[in-house]
Amino acid sequence: MGNEVVIQHSCPKCKHVTTPKGKALTLSLTCEKCGVYYCVHTNANDQFLTKFIPALAIRSRGKIKGVLYEVMGFAVKREKKYEYQWREYFLFNPNVGIAFLSEYDGNWNFLKPYSKHPLFVSYTATPTIEKGKFQLYAKYHAEVLYASGEFFTDIIGSNESSTHYEHICPPYILNFEESNSQLGAYLGEYISPALVATGFNLDKKNLPPKKGLGYTQPHSFSVDESLLLTISVVTLLAAFFLQWILNETAINKKVFESHFVQADLNGQKMFTTSSFQLEGDQKNVVIKVKAPLSNDWFFAEYSLINDATDQEYIFTNEFEYYNGTEEGEAWSEGSNMGDAFLSSIPKGKYHINIYPEFSTSNHEFTISIFRDTPFYSNFFVLCFLLCLFPAAFYGYRYYREQKRWEDSEYSTYE
């Protein structure tokens, strides 16, 4: 429709005429000839002291998330307090609007305007949107060290009068800018250098080298945390239930008990029990030995022998009990009972040969034998092993999050 109004701007310094690619949307630009930055509708202009070379050339085109963008402008910004610098590429496609690629230490974020930022309504430290709950990472004022190309705002004026809020919920970032004249908000997402290079048909080596973990970079290993917790809790409950069932069904039967006195040895070195039956297929056997010790010990070697097959299980057991009074206080140490837990003993008829070593004061002991006694140690080992992966995962995540937040003055990590 109609004859088009051609928009051209003349450099306030060298008078070089530029036809902006952004047409009437372009509100500030740098002169292609002398590099002076100037605003279209005001007298503001600036000459930069240092020149920076953009990794993505002005006017080059690249595809991000399937959309073809043209690089309209490039700016190097510096945070005023801590003086760290980052680079911003201003992108445009008239069919989809404006976008930004922001690069710091070789880590990239792709941002688009986002009018649903909760800070438009009221201030909150943890704005929550459909992408998740965001945490404040930085609040700063920025200055522009360098700019080239064209922009749809006075980037020097608007940056220097604005307070910037950066909230993150990796891989997402929410930016909010507040000045006396405008509020602006952007929602961004971490984008790998490889995707930037591919999008702009560049060799990755031509992009700034990546240093460290980007502050919105997702972890290289991540899992669905709620599912991990669900699996862990369900497994622990299942293990607990199994333990309870097996405890309830354990027969825990005393299969033998006898009292032995040293005098009955009659010069021999061992006692032999009568035979007893161990039922069930493979079950544990617990041997409990009790002796009336007082400041004494009891040691014996035992040999559990299958009557039919002569299969032998040799083990020893020692226990001691000491007591007394020291400075009016009674004390005791040890026990006058000992036990042995034999795992997985096949069923059958057995007897035990006992080779006791009596001290000078104790001359007797009692032995009791139990079959299929409930026990808990495997349950605790299982719980420990089950917790290892979630603990390692949360430990790893804590470490990486600590690294992510180490440059933020709003870090909640020690």
Partner 1 sequence: MQIYCPICGRGYAQKLKDTWLVVCDTCHHLVKGSGLEPDQLMMPDDWSNIQVGTTGLYKSQNFTIMGRIRLQMKNDFRNLWCAQYGQEIMWIGQSLESIGFFKPPFAPYPHNFDQIRAGVNIEFSEQIKLKCELVEKCIEIRYEGELSPFPFPMGNFNLIQASNAAGNTVLVFHQNENSIQFLWGEVMLVYGVTFNNTKTWSQWETK
Partner 2 sequence: MDRLRGLKWYLVLVILGLSFYSYSQIIGWRWIWSTKTEPPSKEEQLRNRNYYHK
Residue 353 touches which of partner 2, partner 1, none (Cβ within 5-8 Å per kind): partner 2
Indicate the SS3 state at residue 265: helix
Q: How many residues bind partner 2 (CB under 8 A)?
A: 49
DSSP class of 218: P
Q: How far is the CB of 200 from partner 2 (least distance, A)?
A: 29
Centroid of chain to Cα 20 = 48
Residue 246 touches which of partner 1, partner 2, none (Cβ within 5-8 Å per kind): partner 2
Q: Which residues contact 243 (CB under 8 A, 6 or more apart)?
A: 376, 379
At 16, phi and psi to the nearest 5? Answer: -65, 135
Residue 389 touches which of partner 2, partner 1, none (Cβ within 5-8 Å per kind): partner 2
Contact mark string toward partner 1, 13..52, x via CB under 8 A: ---------xxxx-x-----------x-xx----------
Which residue, 95 or 377, is less far from partner 1 as judged by CB? 95
Contact flag: residue 152 with partner 1 (CB under 8 A): yes
Exactly one of 24, 34, 183, 223 binds partner 2 (CB under 8 A); that residue is 223
Amino acid at 25: L
Residue 188 touches which of partner 1, partner 2, none (Cβ within 5-8 Å per kind): none
Contact mark string toward partner 2, 182..221, x via CB under 8 A: ---------------------------------------x
Beta carbons of 136 and 165 less than 8 angstroms apart: yes
Q: Is 264 exposed, middle or buried (0-12, 13-18, 19+ CB in 10 A)?
A: exposed
Question: Kind of pairing, strands 271-272 and 276-290?
Answer: unpaired
Exactly one of 128, 378, 399, 410 binds partner 2 (CB under 8 A); that residue is 378
Beta carbons of 160 and 143 less than 8 angstroms apart: yes
Buried b (16+ CB within 10 A) or exposed e, 78-89: beeeeeeebbbb
| Sole window of 12-20, 89-97, 109-117, 225-233 interacting with partner 2 (rule: CB under 8 A) | 225-233
Q: How far is the CB of 189 from partner 2 (least distance, A)?
A: 18
User: Kindly report the CA angle at 50 between 49 and 53, in degrees rounded to 5?
Assistant: 150
| Sole window of 84-92, 159-167, 374-382, 394-402 interacting with partner 2 (rule: CB under 8 A) | 374-382
Contact flag: residue 255 with partner 2 (CB under 8 A): no
Exactly one of 129, 313, 366, 407 binds partner 2 (CB under 8 A); that residue is 313
Residue 243 touches which of partner 2, partner 1, none (Cβ within 5-8 Å per kind): partner 2
Contact flag: residue 344 with partner 2 (CB under 8 A): yes
Indicate the SS3 state at residue 220: coil
Please state, in angstroms and rounded to a whole number, the distance separating the CA atoms of residues 189 and 359: 78
Q: For 200-333, where are the alpha helices, taking DSSP H only? A: 225-249
Q: How many residues bind partner 1 (CB under 8 A)?
A: 40
DSSP 39-82: ESSSS-EE--SS----SS-TT-EEEETTEEEEEEEEEEEEETTT
Contact flag: residue 342 with partner 2 (CB under 8 A): yes
DSSP class of 4: P
Contact mark string toward partner 1, 351..390, x via CB under 8 A: ----------------------------------------
Contact flag: residue 115 with partner 1 (CB under 8 A): yes
Amino acid at 193: P
Exactly one of 284, 306, 336, 362 binds partner 2 (CB under 8 A); that residue is 284
Residue 180 touches which of partner 1, partner 2, none (Cβ within 5-8 Å per kind): partner 1
Contact flag: residue 248 with partner 2 (CB under 8 A): no
Please state, in angstroms and rounded to a whole number, the distance separating the CA atoms of residues 210 and 190: 13
Interhelix angle 377-404/225-249, nearest 10 degrees: 170
Residue 153 falls in which region: left (phi positive, over 0), alpha (psi -120 to 50) or beta = beta
Which residues of the shown chain bind partner 2 in the complex (CB under 8 A)?
221-224, 227-228, 231, 235, 238-239, 242-243, 246, 268, 270, 272, 281-285, 303-305, 310, 312-315, 317, 340-345, 351, 353, 372-373, 375, 377-379, 381-382, 385-386, 389
